[in-house]
Chain A
Amino acid sequence: MNPRLEVRGVTKRFPGVLANDQVNFAVMPGEIHALLGENGAGKSTLVKMIYGVLHPDSGDIQWNGEPVVIAEPSTARRLGIGMVFQHFSLFEAMTVNENIALGMDKPGDMASLALRVRKISADYGLPLDPDRGVYSLSVGERQRIEITRCLLQDPKLLIMDEPTSVLTPQEVERLFETLRQIASEGCSILYISHKLAEIKALCDRATILRSGAVVAECDPGSETAASMAQIMIGEELTSVERRAGDTAGEARMVVEGLELASDDLHGVDLQGIDFTVRASEIFGIAGVAGNGQGELLQALSGERLIARPESIKVDGQVAGHLSAGARRGHGVCAIPEERNGHGAVAALNLVENVVLSAHHRMNLLTSGFIRRAEAKAFTEAVVAQYDVRTPGVATPAGSLSGGNLQKFIVGREIMQNPAVLVASQPTWGVDAGAAARIHQALIDLAAAGTAVVVISQDLDELMAISNRLAVLNLGVLSKPIDTARVSVEEIGLLMGGVHGEAETQEPADAA
């Protein structure tokens, strides 16, 4: 039998980088094939070539045994290749049906499309109401739109790019059932991820990429997560050391009755948030993104000022009225979720990016003038200590890979020796090696007496590093729970919250 898709000797070069080097792999009909690799290993480049967004410099792609040139995504769709991107391309103000029609080459009339959407989505366990506005849907439901859009075109190969990074554990399980069903009907699935447990649970075969080249092909079922990780990163994975016996000290950050209206039309308002973080403690805030996480970071870091300043106290002092800059003076440092454009300015070099957030605490100014030598020395220290791979400190932040830029930002904030550190999604989109390093750095920081708040939707992460955690759902924070005494499933149920309720409610007319 011919493979559904075969990639032979594909090479793609960008200025200064060899993104794909002589890549070979094949996906059989009905197979769920994993493409595994760290960030920057070349997975995205490879699938973009398969989907016609990029074009290989050399090598060829075969479809059912025939060589094909995939000039554009529409060519790929005509062949029967569908792709669900990590970042959805949906218009929030439009309905599900309108969004699906927009992404199709030949949508036909809207009424019959709506019928097909209902049928297909119900058949595959992805219930969707075509008439609902996208803004009212959870992330999981939005992903269903993208999947349904692909399924409507009767695909022979479905590419899923990091599909679970935004889902609750229950939603992940549900997605896997759907994917298994799709595969059982003969459609091949190319599944891109760096989450090893998922690949073990779902995939038939795995191709592992490192630095743009295929380093191994394996059967995930017969490998352990550790062995795959080792192949993937090419070095022994250092496991995170957690402190035994937590000896949290006095309260460093006290939040009481914090309220903040979202400045985003579809954002979530924070309502009556209470929590206390003590010295030497990592406090986790779990929850699916879009439940007020962004607003919470803004309120804690001082990016937006709250109405009642006494809602936030740092080391016993009222801090809610202080701007982000003044709050840093009091020792509150933050790591925002978005690296480019929020935590760092892509067009500025690393030294300038150090000046951005460290000039308050690291004494980088003399009467308004930037002390370049000191800023450069601090930057070099961050780069050296946090293993930031960069040609130099004069390199623009935007040219660093995601993981390296994140290590830089984390290092920049931690090395300012904060009293309180608030980190949002500190390892989002970061490879396993860098993630382990960042986790270790946060644990070491807490051990030295800092109160650390980690906002994350990665439960495994919070279970691994935090002492206590609470779930933020629709702007309300649950009671904190001790991570040593709670299961992932229990937290998953809390995280699902109202979204979970919406899912158990099948649309009445879907049957």
Chain B
Amino acid sequence: MRLKIEPRLEPSAALLYGTPVLAIALTVLSGFFLFALMGYEPLTALYFFFVAPLLTLFGLSEIMLKAAPLILIAVGLAMGFKANVWNIGAEGQLTCGAIAGGGIALWLWGDEGIWILPLICAAGILGGLLYAAIPAFLKTRFEVNEILTSLMLSYVATLMLSALVFGPWKDPMGFNFPQSRMFTEAAILPIVLEGTRLHAGAVVALLIAVAVWVLMSFTIVGFQLRVVGLAPAAARFAGFDRKKLIWLSLLASGGLAGLAGTFEVVGPIGQLVPVISPGYGFTAIIVAFLGRLHPLGIIAAGFLMALSYIGGENAQVEVGLPQAVTGVFQGLLLFFLLASDFLASYRIRRMP
């Protein structure tokens, strides 16, 4: 007897929507054994990882705070992924957005006015968008693979931020720490929930996710992006402009990543520092796929991924789990998701 993998005649619909749930269940199950092997009480560790953060208002607000940038970036990336445009460099666009938005905040340091925050946000969007324009130009003009260019540019952006905060933008009163001045109040996002760190940007992120859903599901632009990804020849037949759609999806995902970076620096961080994101730009790729590239699914996936961050921190404090466990969990989740995805379109058959 041997096993044979063969394509299903049509993808199983139950599995298509069931796989995220299956992947989560398998992740939790592996976590159970992982904790046991590491010598922790598995149920206690899982409790502090997955349940305890959900039981307090503070825990929930922190989850939302983490989920917001993930959702914002992931909905932008999903637009491109649908169209077979693979922007892997959201981390760099996030950083450039933070530099642009934070730069405005420093430039207007001490000024008052309700126009300052919108200006900062616009600058943040523009920063991410322009940074994503580089791979877009290279792709449409020279057919350079955007996976490589966008990914490599991420590291460049991180270095640019470091150069600024180690150099010209360093706080003159900051005891030589590599960080900028703290932004003044007019340049800081208002808190929406008293006693927490939850800021207005998180609400904006959710609204944008819903707007992207409307764009992708009900307008001709979303339709064009989907067709270009599913059948490039049919898109050409319909007269959809492939290059325009590449530009659109890269600029949109870059702009949204830039806005997410700006929200971080004018939100919970409040200044420019060398590291402003714990890899949101990369984690958002997992979130996009976990959410089936559907904006509403991405909202749910963003919250789940945020829970893994907050739960990881919580478990570090309460049970003493190492920090790396968070990364292991995210890796497991993506692994199980891809593996069970495979089963949605293929089946394993026993051969006589």
Binds A, one of B61-69, B104-112, B213-221, B271-279: B213-221
Instruction: For the complex, give the distance between the alpha carbons of A303 and B231 in Å.
Output: 14
Best-surrounded residue of A328, A356, A360 (most CB of chain B within 10 A): A356
Contact with B along A337-351 (1 / 0, CB 8 A): 010011111111000
Instruction: For the complex, give the distance between the alpha carbons of A502 and B9 in Å.
Output: 43
Instruction: For the complex, give the distance between the alpha carbons of A346 and B237 in Å.
Output: 14
Our pick among A301, A325, A346, A370 for the contact of B219 (Cβ within 8 Å) is A370
Once the chains bind, are B240 and A325 in contact (CB under 8 Å)?
A: yes
Q: Using A342-B231, A346-B231, A352-B223 as known contacts, say yes or no to A323 and B239 having CB atoms under 8 A apart.
A: yes
The SS class assigned to the B binding surface is helix
Query: How many A-B pairs fall under 8 Å by CB?
Result: 68
Question: Which residues of the other chain, A, contact B143 by a CB distance below 8 angstroms?
Answer: none
Instruction: For the complex, give the distance between the alpha carbons of A348 and B230 in Å.
Output: 9
Our pick among B218, B234, B239 for the contact of A342 (Cβ within 8 Å) is B234
For B, the interface residue count at a CB cutoff of 8 angstroms equals: 19
Question: Which residues of the other chain, B, contact A370 by a CB distance below 8 angstroms?
Answer: 218-220, 223
A368 in contact (CB, < 8 A): yes
A334 in contact (CB, < 8 A): yes
Once the chains bind, are A15 and B238 in contact (CB under 8 Å)?
A: no
Q: Using A348-B227, A370-B218, A370-B219 as known contacts, say yes or no to A324 and B233 having CB atoms under 8 A apart.
A: no
Instruction: For the complex, give the distance between the alpha carbons of A160 and B239 in Å.
Output: 39
Once the chains bind, are B230 and A365 in contact (CB under 8 Å)?
A: no
Question: Which residues of the other chain, B, contact A325 by a CB distance below 8 angstroms?
Answer: 238-240
Our pick among B9, B231, B239 for the contact of A324 (Cβ within 8 Å) is B239
Once the chains bind, are A399 and B239 in contact (CB under 8 Å)?
A: no
Best-surrounded residue of B236, B238, B240, B241 (most CB of chain A within 10 A): B238
Of all chain B residues, the one with the shortest Cβ separation from A301 is B237
Question: Which residues of the other chain, B, contact A303 by a CB distance below 8 angstroms?
Answer: 236-237, 239
Once the chains bind, are A324 and B236 in contact (CB under 8 Å)?
A: yes
Question: Which residues of the other chain, A, contact B218 by a CB distance below 8 angstroms?
Answer: 369-370
Once the chains bind, are A345 and B10 in contact (CB under 8 Å)?
A: no
Once the chains bind, are B234 and A356 in contact (CB under 8 Å)?
A: yes
Interface members, chain B 186-239 (any A CB < 8 Å): 218-221, 223, 226-227, 230-231, 233-234, 236-239
Once the chains bind, are A345 and B230 in contact (CB under 8 Å)?
A: yes
Once the chains bind, are B241 and A323 in contact (CB under 8 Å)?
A: yes
Contact with B along A436-463 (1 / 0, CB 8 A): 0000000000000000000000000000
Once the chains bind, are B219 and A338 in contact (CB under 8 Å)?
A: no
A405 in contact (CB, < 8 A): no
Q: Measured between C-beta atoms, what is the minimum distance from A428 to chain B in Å?
A: 16
Once the chains bind, are B233 and A342 in contact (CB under 8 Å)?
A: yes
Q: Using A328-B239, A370-B218 as known contacts, say yes or no to A345 and B234 having CB atoms under 8 A apart.
A: yes
Instruction: For the complex, give the distance between the alpha carbons of A338 and B234 in Å.
Output: 10
Instruction: For the complex, give the distance between the alpha carbons of A309 and B219 in Å.
Output: 31
Once the chains bind, are A365 and B220 in contact (CB under 8 Å)?
A: yes
Question: Which residues of the other chain, A, contact B9 by a CB distance below 8 angstroms?
Answer: 14-15
Question: Which residues of the other chain, B, contact A343 by a CB distance below 8 angstroms?
Answer: 234, 237
Once the chains bind, are B10 and A324 in contact (CB under 8 Å)?
A: no
Instruction: For the complex, give the distance between the alpha carbons of A338 and B239 in Å.
Output: 16
Q: Measured between C-beta atoms, what is the minimum distance from B147 to chain A in Å?
A: 23
Instruction: For the complex, give the distance between the alpha carbons of A368 and B227 in Å.
Output: 16
Once the chains bind, are B220 and A326 in contact (CB under 8 Å)?
A: no
Question: Which residues of the other chain, B, contact A433 by a CB distance below 8 angstroms?
Answer: none
Instruction: For the complex, give the distance between the alpha carbons of A269 and B267 in Å.
Output: 59
Instruction: For the complex, give the distance between the alpha carbons of A360 and B237 in Å.
Output: 13
A336 in contact (CB, < 8 A): yes
A81 in contact (CB, < 8 A): no
Once the chains bind, are A344 and B234 in contact (CB under 8 Å)?
A: yes
Our pick among B226, B237, B240, B241 for the contact of A336 (Cβ within 8 Å) is B237
Once the chains bind, are A334 and B237 in contact (CB under 8 Å)?
A: yes
A419 in contact (CB, < 8 A): no
Instruction: For the complex, give the distance between the alpha carbons of A355 and B9 in Å.
Output: 27
Our pick among B219, B230, B236 for the contact of A368 (Cβ within 8 Å) is B219
Question: Which residues of the other chain, A, contact B234 by a CB distance below 8 angstroms?
Answer: 341-345, 356
Once the chains bind, are A327 and B237 in contact (CB under 8 Å)?
A: no
Question: Which residues of the other chain, B, contact A344 by a CB distance below 8 angstroms?
Answer: 234
A357 in contact (CB, < 8 A): yes
Our pick among B230, B233, B241 for the contact of A347 (Cβ within 8 Å) is B230
Instruction: For the complex, give the distance between the alpha carbons of A120 and B30 in Å.
Output: 62
Instruction: For the complex, give the distance between the alpha carbons of A341 and B240 in Å.
Output: 14
Instruction: For the complex, give the distance between the alpha carbons of A342 and B232 in Å.
Output: 8
A118 in contact (CB, < 8 A): no
Instruction: For the complex, give the distance between the alpha carbons of A347 and B239 in Å.
Output: 19
Our pick among A323, A334, A355 for the contact of B223 (Cβ within 8 Å) is A355
A/B interface sample: 13 pairs, CB < 8 A: A303-B239, A336-B233, A341-B231, A342-B231, A343-B234, A347-B230, A352-B223, A356-B227, A356-B237, A357-B238, A365-B220, A368-B220, A369-B218
List 3 tightest A-B contacts by C-beta distance, closest first.
A325-B239, A324-B239, A342-B233
